[in-house]
Amino acid sequence: MVLAARPEVIAWLRPVFLGAAGLLLGLAVTTQSRGWLFTLPIVLVATLVLVPGRARLILFAAPMAGALTLISGDLLAPYHAVDLVPAEAGTALGSAFDGATRSLLVATGALVIVGALGVWVDLSLHRWFHPTPAIRRGVTTALLASLALGCVAAGAVATDARPLQRIESAWTNRDRNEGDRSHFAALGSGRYAVWRVGLLAWREHPIDGLGQDNFVQTYITKRKDADEEPRWLHSLPLRLLVHTGLVGFALFALFVIAAAWAAITSWARRAREGPARLAGSLAMLPAVVWLAHGSVDWLWEYPGLSGPALGLTGAAVALGSSALGKDRAAVATKPSRRRIAAACAGALVCAAVVVPSYVADREVQAAAAHWPANPEAAFDRLERARALNPLSARAALVEGVIAVRLGRLRQAHSSFTRAAQREPHDWFARFELGLVEGARRDRAAALRYLLAAQRLNPLDPLVARAVDLARQGRTMSFQAAQEEFELRVRQRISAPIP
């Protein structure tokens, strides 16, 4: 959208960019994701602050917003088929997606045509009309005021003129409205409960946090219902605060401030070069998207999203390097031995930290996938994984599950014991130890382990059922527990566990 509005861009490309912007925004609507809906206003404000030519930008954005508003009904139509039985859903979904596709393609074509007309008008006015700075400021102020009023009106309509009450209801998870036709109609979400537990955990460990990726155990202990077991907090700033404490959060905040300051400084060095300011502001926008969307969702875990955002931020900072003089640039093209040595040392350190963990994870995956064909080879893989990554209990857990399925209860007991010692707050290892002891007819030990698992996971119905059986002198079978776990995984990620 920004490129479509800029006169520096080749004229015939600008309508194409406007059509592409409308197409991408329409596809975002069809995903029914509210994360980008929260992010969009923030990115819009950042764009208006960073990118020069605010009036032209608003004028080019208006037809895109209008086109998407006109076809929004067709874009949301596939969601209407969620209440249909499977036999009827196929035909209804096919028709709905065909309609959404046609409408989106028509809107894209219309935006290209409107964009071509807008570019012609823009170039004509630029050639024949040169408004004074006062006129430009007045037009920009009027457009910004109109945009602000439109956003306020849209927010009032979306929240029934009760924004604070709707937000409060969503935070307390009373605003789920599962029967609504559109996912955008409800603000309720399970992540509010996740954030509540995260803040409680941070208050208990404010300085150093829980440690990286240790949130799931805390959440299971403090949650109010057993519907979800999230690994992450669906928020990068909150994740940093909870996992790494004030120390990690402050370091990340310092990085963000330093990157923004360096980018702005690079623009200031080349203040007379309009394209440099434009390129720098565009390179910073993906980082704004990443940080804003990552504040309400989990994006950091995807290298394909984090890499470009951070890389383009570096590109924005580097824009100022050419302003330091040709002699400095010539020196920079010839790296010193010290820099090469530092780069090699950094690469070796990263490899020493990352590669063993990666190889161990691959070994665990291979063992879990191929153990029925060759169990001994799977156990060898798991032993290598433990040696490569002794800080993880996953290899021991997988070994215990495989041993249970092979009927090797002694080996399963040893593996689950090792996992329980490595992860003192992990309920699953203790739950499996309870089942193992029950199968070995040691009912006292079985009840002891199951009660320990229940203390770590008090709301899980499967653990509660196993404890009740143990108190009655009976034992839950491994098959019953396995079927329950597979059902949970299918419901949550639509795939069986290995």
pLDDT tens across 410-431, in order?
A: 999 999 999 999 988 889 999 9
Q: Domain limits at 45?
A: 1-158
Q: Which residues contact 109 (CB under 8 A, 6 or more apart)?
A: 19
Please tell me the predicted confidence (pLDDT) of residue 494.
Answer: 41
Find the CATH number of the domain harbouring 454. Answer: 1.25.40.10
Whether residue 89 is contained in a domain is answered as: yes
Same domain, 417 and 469: yes
Which residues are CB-neighbours of 33 under 8 A, at least 6 positions away? Answer: 183
Is 245 found in the same domain as 120? Answer: no
- 1 and 149 inside one domain: yes
Contact, 307 vs 301, CB < 8 A?
no
Q: Classify 441 in phi/psi space as left (phi over 0), alpha (psi -120 to 50) or beta.
A: left
Task: Look at residue 326 in the predicted model and tell me its pLDDT.
Answer: 47
Alpha-carbon distance of 439 to 405, in angstroms, equals 13
Q: Cα(24)–Cα(30) distance, rounded to whole angstroms? A: 10
Q: Residue 178 has what DSSP assignment?
A: T
Q: In terms of domains, do 308 and 431 share one?
A: no
> Residue 435 CA to chain centroid, in angstroms?
36
Distant-in-sequence, close-in-space partners of 481: CB < 8 Å, separation ≥ 6: 431, 435, 462, 466
Identify whether 486 is part of a domain. yes
pLDDT in tens, 1-54: 999 998 888 999 999 999 999 999 999 888 877 778 788 888 888 888 888 888
Does residue 212 sit in the same domain as residue 134?
A: no
What count of other Cβ atoms lies within 10 Å of the Cβ of residue 262?
16
CA separation, residue 265 to residues 77, 274, 316, 375 (Å): 47, 15, 10, 60
If asked whether residues 139 and 224 sit together in one domain, one would say no
Question: Which of 297, 320, 343 finishes a domain?
Answer: 320
- Are 309 and 236 a contacting pair, CB within 8 Å? no
Residue 291's H or E segment, with its range, is: helix 274-294
For the chain, how many structural domains are there in total?
A: 3
Q: Terminal CA-to-CA distance of the chain, rounded, Å?
A: 45
Q: Please indicate, yes or no, if residue 149 is contained in any of the structural domains.
A: yes
- Kindly state whether residues 200 and 146 are assigned to the same domain: no
User: Does 218 fall in a domain?
Assistant: yes
In a domain, 122, yes or no: yes
Structural domain includes residue 181: no
| Structure-token pair, residue 274 | 């309009």
- Residue 424 DSSP SS3: coil
Same domain, 195 and 148: no
What six digits make up the tokens of 206? 């404010």
pLDDT for the residue 26? 92
Q: Name residues of the chain where pLDDT drops below 70.
A: 81-88, 129-130, 132, 135-136, 154-189, 226-227, 270-274, 320-335, 488-498
Which of 158, 173, 207 lies at the terminal end of a domain, its last residue?
A: 158
The number of helix segments (H) and strand segments (E) in the chain equals 21, 0
Give Rg (Cα) of the chain.
Answer: 28
154 and 211 co-located in one domain:
no
Nearest residue to 230 (alpha-carbon basis) of 275, 264, 189: 189
Given phi > 0 = left and psi -120 to 50 = alpha, else beta, which region is 337? alpha
Q: Is residue 183 part of a domain?
A: no
Contact 77, 100 (CB under 8 A): yes
12 and 144 in a common domain: yes
DSSP state of 392: -
**Residue 154 shares a structural domain with residue 194:** no
Residue with tokens 């790296």: 335
* pLDDT at position 102: 94
Q: Does 448 map to a domain?
A: yes
Domain boundary residue among 320, 337, 362?
320
Model's pTM, two decimal places? 0.76
Neighbours of 10 (CB within 10 A): 9
Kindly report the backbone phi and psi dihedral angles of residue 224, in degrees, each rounded to the nearest multiple of 5, phi listed first. Answer: -100, -15
Same domain for 230 and 147?
A: no
Report the C-alpha gap between 339 and 346 in whole angstroms: 10
Contact status, residue 359 vs residue 337, Cβ threshold 8 Å = no
Write out pLDDT tens, residues 440-474: 888 899 999 999 999 999 988 889 999 999 998 88
Say which DSSP state 394 is in: H
